[in-house]
């Protein structure tokens, strides 16, 4: 990259598409230059804090610190904003050599510490649309609220098989479900069922265009901005309990060594028996006196079978040299006003590991299916680490008295062996983090 100091911006703002000329090297690999031409300006809206200076001039300080120029607001364009409030500004003219950019306030969000304002700031800052188009809403509503007879036609029926979804306590929608059975030959029959969104979202439709523009759903502690309208996101495309749902199903027959000996892929239909949480499943597996065992007594056998298969799959994956970084993420606890009350380490219990293992196996099975049938697709590939960075890492761990035992080249299993050696020690966090 090329470092551009403030005096060399030439009235450019963060996000602009520009032509830059390299002036000199700053040392190392860093170059320094100046902007000589602005090819294209960024989106014309930004979020900031409204203020008035001593002379009575109205201006907005951008929330994004990468925008270093305040925006001048004509008195007639302040939209009754009060000093200190967060606002949305539409730029009406770009900066020049003699003045800052000028804009008008189009929306007053409120005080920064007011509940919900922080979410609005993020939505506007990153251009995340909060509302769906009328066309997309109409398409979603046309599907109704339940599965039709036409939807069921030609699908494999799994509704008589015990099926559960297992997610975090605060999950708002459920896109995967699990079935498991012991076969007469002793093998396991594991089913991973994924919500069949493509059944409803046809190429080129308004829903398809909406998804393409958004790319993903965005989840906040207090709300979610879904990629699709609610009728799909938390309705037909969410595997809610006790209702029929359309799915893409991957059935895998797995032997006692964790090998997938046979698989089938189906357009399916399920009816989830229960929406369970990681905490509930973990309690069932680790606490024989838990109330969860009474509440879900009929689900204990399949959950125990999942636990049994999990250990087999995990052992096989480790023998292949896979790395398992058991890193606990930070979790924010909010009060009723939406303010941070505490920061805790999230729980990654055995139930979460079970689901991760099953999803990984389903992904591998489907990838093998696509590859063996020469179906063009996008693959997620983890490339080998940079040799220079590996060398730096080896140098760091040597100061802690550790080495990577890697005769004939460093492999993933060598990193896993190191992680196993430091597990539970004070050195685990810095080593795993790096």
* Higher-pLDDT residue of 410, 288: 288
- Would residue 267 count as lying in a domain? yes
Asked if residue 150 and residue 108 are part of one domain, the reply reads no
- Would residue 421 count as lying in a domain? yes
- Residues 143 and 231: their CA atoms lie apart, in Å, by 9
**Please, what is the Cα angle at 52 between 49 and 54, to 5 degrees?**
145
Q: What is the dihedral of CA 79, 84, 88, 90, to 10 degrees?
A: 70
Asked if residue 217 and residue 95 are part of one domain, the reply reads no
Asked if residue 421 and residue 354 are part of one domain, the reply reads no
Asked if residue 194 and residue 176 are part of one domain, the reply reads yes
Q: Which of 125, 153, 175 is the last residue of a domain?
A: 125
- pLDDT computed for residue 55 by the predictor: 92
Is the per-residue pLDDT at 347 higher than 80? no
For position 76, which CATH number holds?
2.40.50.700
Asked if residue 206 and residue 223 are part of one domain, the reply reads yes
At residue 196 the predicted structure's pLDDT band, cuts being 50, 70 and 90, is: very high
Structure token digits, residue 110:
């409120």
Asked if residue 209 and residue 166 are part of one domain, the reply reads yes
Q: Which of 125, 157, 189 is the last residue of a domain?
A: 125
> Backbone phi, then psi, for 110, in 5-degree steps?
120, -175
Highest average pLDDT, of 140-154, 243-257, 341-355, comes from: 243-257
DSSP 232: I
The total number of structural domains that make up the chain: 4
Instruction: Collect all residues with Cβ–Cβ distance below 8 Å to 173 and sequence separation of at least 6.
Output: 224, 226, 233, 234, 237, 238
- Would residue 414 count as lying in a domain? yes
Q: Provide the residue count of the chain.
A: 434
Asked if residue 121 and residue 72 are part of one domain, the reply reads yes
Asked if residue 58 and residue 17 are part of one domain, the reply reads no
- pLDDT computed for residue 283 by the predictor: 95
Asked if residue 199 and residue 56 are part of one domain, the reply reads no
66-83 pLDDT, tens per residue? 898 999 999 999 999 999
Q: Tell me which of 18-27, 191-200, 273-282, 286-295 is least confident.
A: 18-27
- pLDDT computed for residue 426 by the predictor: 83
- Would residue 428 count as lying in a domain? yes
- pLDDT computed for residue 322 by the predictor: 79
323-338 pLDDT, tens per residue? 777 777 788 888 877 7
Q: Which helix (H) or strand (E) holds 271?
A: strand 260-271
Is the per-residue pLDDT at 26 higher than 80? no
Asked if residue 358 and residue 226 are part of one domain, the reply reads yes
Give the Å distances, CA to CA, from 432 to 320, 325, 348.
Answer: 20, 7, 16
- Residue whose entry in the numeric block shows the structure tokens 């983890």: 382
At residue 227 the predicted structure's pLDDT band, cuts being 50, 70 and 90, is: very high
At residue 406 the predicted structure's pLDDT band, cuts being 50, 70 and 90, is: low
Q: Tell me which of 62-71, 201-210, 336-345 is least confident.
A: 336-345
Is the per-residue pLDDT at 165 higher than 80? yes
DSSP 7: G
- Would residue 310 count as lying in a domain? no
Q: Helical H runs in 84-185?
A: 117-125, 134-142, 149-152
Mean pLDDT of 350-358: 95
Contact criterion met (CB below 8 Å) for 122 and 104:
no
Asked if residue 119 and residue 235 are part of one domain, the reply reads no
Average pLDDT, the chain: 90
Q: Tell me which of 23-27, 86-90, 219-223 is least confident.
A: 23-27
Candidates 175, 274, 260; CA nearest to 216 is 175
What predicted TM-score, i.e. pTM, was given to this entire model?
0.84
Asked if residue 213 and residue 173 are part of one domain, the reply reads yes
Mean pLDDT of 30-35: 88
Instruction: Collect all residues with Cβ–Cβ distance below 8 Å to 417 and sequence separation of at least 6.
Output: 405
- Residues 49 and 63: their CA atoms lie apart, in Å, by 7
- pLDDT computed for residue 159 by the predictor: 96
- Would residue 419 count as lying in a domain? yes
- Would residue 382 count as lying in a domain? no
- Would residue 380 count as lying in a domain? no
- Residues 107 and 256: their CA atoms lie apart, in Å, by 61
Helix, strand, or coil (residue 283): helix
88-137 pLDDT, tens per residue? 999 999 999 889 999 999 999 999 888 889 899 999 988 888 899 999 99
Contact criterion met (CB below 8 Å) for 214 and 128:
yes
User: What residues form DSSP beta bridges with 192?
Assistant: 178, 250
Share of the chain above pLDDT 90, in %: 62
- Residues 206 and 243: their CA atoms lie apart, in Å, by 26
* Higher-pLDDT residue of 422, 370: 370
- Residues 83 and 47: their CA atoms lie apart, in Å, by 14
- Residues 350 and 318: their CA atoms lie apart, in Å, by 16
- Residue ranges making up the domain that contains 152: 144-279+327-372
Q: Tell me which of 248-252, 302-306, 426-430 is least confident.
A: 426-430
């Amino acid at each position: 990259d090329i470092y551009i100091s403030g005096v060399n911006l030439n009235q450019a703002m963060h996000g602009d598409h520009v032509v830059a000329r390299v002036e000199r090297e700053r040392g190392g690999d860093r170059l320094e230059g100046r902007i000589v031409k602005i090819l294209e300006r960024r989106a014309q809206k930004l979020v900031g804090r409204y203020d008035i200076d001593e002379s009575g001039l109205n201006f907005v300080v951008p929330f994004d610190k990468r925008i270093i120029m305040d925006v001048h607001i004509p008195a007639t364009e302040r939209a009754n904003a009060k000093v200190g409030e967060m606002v949305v500004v539409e730029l009406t003219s770009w900066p020049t050599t003699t003045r800052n950019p000028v804009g008008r306030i189009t929306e007053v969000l409120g005080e920064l510490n007011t509940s919900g304002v922080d979410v609005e700031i993020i939505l506007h800052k990153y251009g995340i649309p909060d509302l769906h188009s009328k066309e997309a809403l109409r398409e979603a509503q046309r599907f109704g609220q339940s599965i039709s007879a036409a939807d069921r036609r030609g699908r494999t029926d799994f509704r008589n098989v015990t099926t559960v979804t297992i997610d975090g306590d605060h999950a708002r929608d459920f896109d995967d479900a699990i079935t498991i059975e012991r076969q007469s030959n002793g093998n396991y029959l594991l089913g991973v069922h994924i919500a069949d969104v493509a059944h409803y979202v046809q190429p080129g439709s308004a829903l398809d265009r909406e998804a393409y523009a958004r790319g993903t759903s965005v989840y906040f502690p207090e709300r979610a901005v879904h990629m699709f309208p609610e009728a799909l996101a938390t309705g037909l495309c969410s595997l809610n309990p006790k209702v029929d749902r359309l799915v893409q199903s991957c059935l895998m027959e797995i032997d006692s060594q964790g090998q997938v000996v046979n698989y089938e892929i189906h357009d399916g239909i399920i009816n989830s028996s229960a929406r369970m949480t990681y905490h509930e499943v973990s309690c069932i597996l680790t606490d024989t006196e838990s109330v969860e065992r009474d509440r879900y007594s009929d689900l204990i056998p399949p959950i125990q079978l999942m636990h049994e298969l999990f250990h087999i799959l995990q052992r096989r994956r480790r023998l292949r040299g896979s790395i398992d970084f058991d890193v606990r993420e930070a979790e924010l606890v909010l009060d009723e006003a939406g303010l941070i009350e505490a920061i805790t380490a999230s729980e990654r219990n055995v139930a979460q590991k079970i689901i991760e293992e099953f999803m990984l196996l389903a992904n591998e099975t489907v990838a093998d299916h696509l590859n063996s049938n020469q179906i063009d697709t996008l693959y997620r590939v983890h490339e080998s680490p940079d040799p220079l960075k590996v060398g730096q890492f080896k140098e760091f761990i040597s100061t802690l008295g550790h080495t990577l035992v890697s005769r004939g080249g460093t492999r993933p299993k060598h990193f896993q062996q190191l992680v196993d050696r430091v597990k539970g020690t004070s050195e685990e966090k810095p080593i795993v983090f790096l």
